[in-house]
Structure 1
Amino acid sequence: MAQVPISAIVLAGGAGRRMGGQDKGLVKFHDLPLVAYVLARILPQVDEILISANRNLDDYRALGYPVVIDALDGFQGPLAGVLAGLHAAHHEWVLTVPCDTPQLPADLVQQLAAPLLRGHAEIVVASAGGRTHPAIMICARRLADDLGKYLAGGGRAVHAWQARHRTATIEFPDAAAFINVNQPEDLSGRLN
């Protein structure tokens, strides 16, 4: 775990359009839902886990973690789930990860938390292989009010909201750790 308590929000509230409307977190990979792999990766790294979901709520609750629901209707994007999680989290620092990234690094929180502990950032975002992963971040819970205003004003882009704050990026060496499952063929062709 990091040197400060960290809450985590697993973002599982999307519409799954590229997966034919399937709930991506519940799509099976080797007999387990994708979200189970994400939970296993982050469990040793954080002090609290919340799942942000908008459907199949009983299936997510059965995983044993509190489920939060977007305050905004109609699948408004990952920031709506982040906002719901920030309001429900018990710790000042909050990790967010998508439910479809089953190979996250074992040192994700340790690496992302370093700039926070030095007071250099309010948000720290993961990057790998020259690509930034805006939905994989640690941010300050106190940013919830600003995020609510951003969403109320029609903002939806994660990177644009992050740019409003002191943001740092941490480069990870293994791009494969950040592969996300967007289409059914990703389950067989891109994951280890």
Structure 2
Amino acid sequence: MKTIILAGGKSSRMGENKALMIIAGKRLIDRMIEEFTPVSEKVFVIANDELSRINDGAIILEDFEPYKGEGPLAGILTGLTAAKEGACFVVACDMPFASSKLVKQLEQKLTDKKLDAVVPVADGQIHPLFAVYNARIQDQVIATLKEGKRAVKSLLDRIDVEYIEMGKSLEFWNMNTKEDYVEAKKIIEGNETH
């Protein structure tokens, strides 16, 4: 399985690049690469900016034209294209509590049932940016983007997806504001110093 970390977002609410924010002495992007490298053949980081100085274990890619800047769907397309085949775990870089523990379970289901995607549902919300996709769906991603649709949900509507109920979990929590960042730091740094 390959991992695709989406780190190219505009971070408009945060006001700075979330991937480069420091928690417990490490940039968020480096924490994520370290977390998912042990369960991945390759780790791709999809970024459109200053992520050149990055953990050596990852391959940094920019969205390709004509989809540059078209949001997470374009990032997913870039990652799936690089992966070429097989299961790909897609995760957004603003999920500070994302862990590799669930990934194998999602991958197993994708492989066993020959699905296009397996997407967790937690607390009534679907999490397409913490999900496993089969790289073969590249054409469907392109078709979705060509229709001018940028929501990942639009892609899910046209592929064979299984949704898995996970219950409420910090794993799926997004860090969108400075307040979220302070909260994440408090939880992680509190846990790591004990």
Give the TM-score band, short-chain normalised.
0.7 to 0.9
2:135 and 2:67 mapped to 1: Cα distance?
A: 22
Residues 52 and 60 in structure 2, CA contact (< 8 A), matched pair in contact too: no
Of 104, 110, 113, 1:116 maps to 110
How many pairs align? 185
Q: 1:91 deviation in Å? A: 4.1
1:14 alignment partner AA: G
How do 1:75-94 residues align onto structure 2 when only pairs under 5 Å count?
75-94=69-88
- TM-score of the superposition, structure 2-length normalised? 0.87
Name the stretch that deviates more: 116-125 or 140-149. Answer: 116-125
Of 168, 176, 180, 2:162 maps to 168
How do 1:95-110 residues align onto structure 2 when only pairs under 5 Å count?
95-110=89-104
CA deviation map 1:9-60 (0-9, x unaligned)? 100011111111x111111122211112222222222221000000013134
Of 1, 13, 18, 2:13 maps to 18
Q: 1:105 deviation in Å? A: 3.2
| Change beyond 3 A, Cα 1:63–1:184 | farther
How do 1:144-163 residues align onto structure 2 when only pairs under 5 Å count?
144-163=138-157
Q: Which residue of 1 aligns with 2:59?
A: 66
Q: Which residue of 2 aligns with 1:189?
A: 183
CA deviation map 1:122-160 (0-9, x unaligned)? 111122222211111111111112211211221101012
Of 3, 17, 41, 1:8 maps to 3
Q: 1:82 deviation in Å? A: 0.6
Question: Displaced runs of 4+ in structure 1, greater than 6 A?
Answer: none
How do 1:123-138 residues align onto structure 2 when only pairs under 5 Å count?
123-138=117-132
- TM-score of the superposition, structure 1-length normalised? 0.88
SS in 2 for 1:57: coil
| Structure 2 residues not aligned, in runs of 5+ | 189-194
